[in-house]
Amino acid sequence: MKAVVVGGGLGGLTAAIALRLVGWDVVVLERAPEFGEVGAGVGVMPNAMRALAALGLEGEVRRIGTPRVAGGVRDRKGRPLTYVDAARLDHLVAVHRADLHRVLRSALPEACLVTDTDVRSVDDLDADLVVAADGIRSRIRQALFPTMPQPVYVGTTAWRSVTEARFPADLEIGQTLGPGSEFGVLPLGDGRVCWFAATVAPEGGRSDDELGEVRRLVDGWHHPIAEVLDATPPGTVLRHDVHELAAPLPTFVRGRVALLGDAAHAMTPYLGQGACMAFEDAVVLAAACARAGRDVPGALAEYDRQRRPRTQSVARASRMMGRVGHRLRNPVAVALRDAAMRAVPSRVGLRAMDRFLGWVPPDLSPDR
Ligand SMILES: Cc1cc2nc3c(=O)[nH]c(=O)nc-3n(C[C@H](O)[C@H](O)[C@H](O)COP(=O)(O)OP(=O)(O)OC[C@H]3O[C@@H](n4cnc5c(N)ncnc54)[C@H](O)[C@@H]3O)c2cc1C
């Protein structure tokens, strides 16, 4: 059985690895002249780590990812709103996207990775299965669902980068919520720190000095935010306006085509689950294909049945998280939110996340 994966991002590569594990021939077609990822961090939540573990990749990802540290949420003066000790936060791992992409690439033979190939139509692709992993602006989704609205701007602009300097190994994971904005730090395995900042802003804003923009946004915020920014080379700061699919798709499947990752369910990043959902998609798709043998329509129906409700519910929860997180600007609302966060024990907060983080991957062997 042969699959063509359109798009060599985190989702497409993971799908290729998973399908090869269950015995499929796979080719990945990537539009860009080289495979790669942007220079920022990505959070790999426990559900996604289990998906990567099913593919034999957990060890390498943990090696390059966040060490065992504590962490929590603070207000901009540094007062804790929630705090989780290292033992219970062990499951939150951030990695440099470029490093993760390299780990995924090295799990695939060179011969199945094809660059410089802009797929304009799936009709001519010689395959039993086409995996459309071509991202939020998916041309394949637009062709298959021409009446669905385009992705929309959600009102948040985000900056991301990774420090050049290394920080002490006990630097904690931290998210700081200010009115209308936030800042997060996630240490990497080698001591560098990836960080993100987000604020409510009109669409399309750009500056010649994005690092300076972030400095102004978090001026006076608590330690170690200024130090993290000082350790960041100015030219490395990425800025993206955040978009999501305007409406949930009625199906992730059309004929022999399966939509996967952002092509299927581009969501806001407030729960850090966009790529994580793509990793889950990949394992579920491969498991369904393994079970269904040559019955590709049956496999795809099963994939849609399992993935659409889950990803669309995570997308809804993520949108909601934005509303009560950095998007809150009214001082009274911010004070109430902060008081509520302080009052709820962290184990209760973690338990509320269980329905997202507790996901367990299906077995990839065909007889299960
Ligand atoms: C600010 C921000 C922070 C985030 N933080 C997190 C986080 O902490 N954790 C998390 O899990 N997620 C996070 N996400 C979401 C995550 O980045 C995405 O969900 C994930 O990268 C999507 O992967 P993908 O492979 O589906 O799509 P993409 O990464 O967009 O890959 C699509 C690929 O397809 C290629 N392509 C496109 N069109 C064609 C074509 N016609 N022919 C051939 N190739 C094509 C593109 O070049 C690209 O390589 C964040 C997103 C943002 C914006």
The per-residue pLDDT for range 82-126, each reduced to its tens digit, is: 988 887 776 689 999 999 999 999 999 999 999 999 999 999 999
Does residue 189 lie in a domain region?
A: yes
- Does the CA dihedral 154-177-350-46 come out positive or negative? positive
End-to-end alpha-carbon separation of the chain, Å?
19
> Which residue's C-alpha comes closest to atom 53 of ligand 1?
242
Does residue 364 lie in a domain region?
A: no
Does residue 81 lie in a domain region?
A: yes
Please state the atom number of ligand 1 nearest to the C-alpha of residue 264: 26
CATH number of 162's domain: 3.50.50.60
**CA gap 116, 28 in Å, rounded:** 11
What's the CA-to-centroid distance between 13 and ligand 1, angstroms? 11
**CA gap 298, 300 in Å, rounded:** 5
Please state the atom number of ligand 1 nearest to the C-alpha of residue 139: 41
> Which residue's C-alpha comes closest to atom 35 of ligand 1?
7
What's the mean pLDDT in 287-307? Answer: 96
> Which residue's C-alpha comes closest to atom 51 of ligand 1?
269
What's the CA-to-centroid distance between 222 and ligand 1, angstroms? 31
Please state the atom number of ligand 1 nearest to the C-alpha of residue 43: 8
What's the CA-to-centroid distance between 133 and ligand 1, angstroms? 9
> Which residue's C-alpha comes closest to atom 4 of ligand 1?
269
The per-residue pLDDT for range 231-253, each reduced to its tens digit, is: 999 899 999 999 999 999 999 99
* Mean pLDDT comparison of 119-133, 318-332, 349-363, highest-scoring range: 119-133
> Is a pLDDT exceeding 60 seen at residue 152?
yes
Pocket probe for ligand 1: among 5, 10, 139, the residue whose CB has the most ligand atoms within 8 Å is 10
What's the CA-to-centroid distance between 212 and ligand 1, angstroms? 26
What's the CA-to-centroid distance between 98 and ligand 1, angstroms? 12
The per-residue pLDDT for range 170-179, each reduced to its tens digit, is: 899 999 999 9
Q: What per-residue confidence (pLDDT) applies to 326?
A: 84
Does residue 143 lie in a domain region?
A: yes
The per-residue pLDDT for range 46-73, each reduced to its tens digit, is: 999 999 999 999 999 999 998 888 899 9
What's the CA-to-centroid distance between 356 and ligand 1, angstroms? 20
Please state the atom number of ligand 1 nearest to the C-alpha of residue 7: 34
What percentage of the chain reaches a pLDDT higher than 90?
A: 83
> Is a pLDDT exceeding 80 seen at residue 9?
yes
**CA gap 162, 167 in Å, rounded:** 12
The chain-wide mean pLDDT, for the chain, equals 94
> Which residue's C-alpha comes closest to atom 52 of ligand 1?
269
Asked if residue 186 lies in contact with residue 69, where contact means CB atoms within 8 angstroms, the answer is no
pLDDT bin (cut points 50, 70, 90) of residue 367 is low
> Which residue's C-alpha comes closest to atom 15 of ligand 1?
274
Does residue 283 lie in a domain region?
A: yes
Q: What per-residue confidence (pLDDT) applies to 324?
A: 83
Q: What per-residue confidence (pLDDT) applies to 366?
A: 60
Does residue 96 lie in a domain region?
A: yes
The per-residue pLDDT for range 164-201, each reduced to its tens digit, is: 999 998 899 999 999 999 999 999 999 999 999 999 99
Asked if residue 37 lies in contact with residue 9, where contact means CB atoms within 8 angstroms, the answer is yes
Structure tokens at 348: 């209760």
Does residue 368 lie in a domain region?
A: no
> Which residue's C-alpha comes closest to atom 27 of ligand 1?
135
Q: Which of 107, 52, 62, 19 is nearest to 279 (CA)?
A: 52
Q: What per-residue confidence (pLDDT) applies to 90?
A: 63
Pocket probe for ligand 1: among 4, 5, 29, 30, the residue whose CB has the most ligand atoms within 8 Å is 30
Domain that holds residue 338: 2-357
What's the CA-to-centroid distance between 262 and ligand 1, angstroms? 6
Query: Residues lining ligand 1, CB < 6 A?
Result: 6-12, 29-32, 42-43, 117-119, 133-135, 139, 158, 160, 240, 242, 261-263, 269, 272-276, 278
Does residue 366 lie in a domain region?
A: no
Question: Regarding beta strands 2-6 and 129-132, do their DSSP bridges make them parallel or antiparallel, or are they unpaired?
Answer: parallel
CB atoms near residue 336 (< 10 Å): 13
Total domain count for the chain? 1
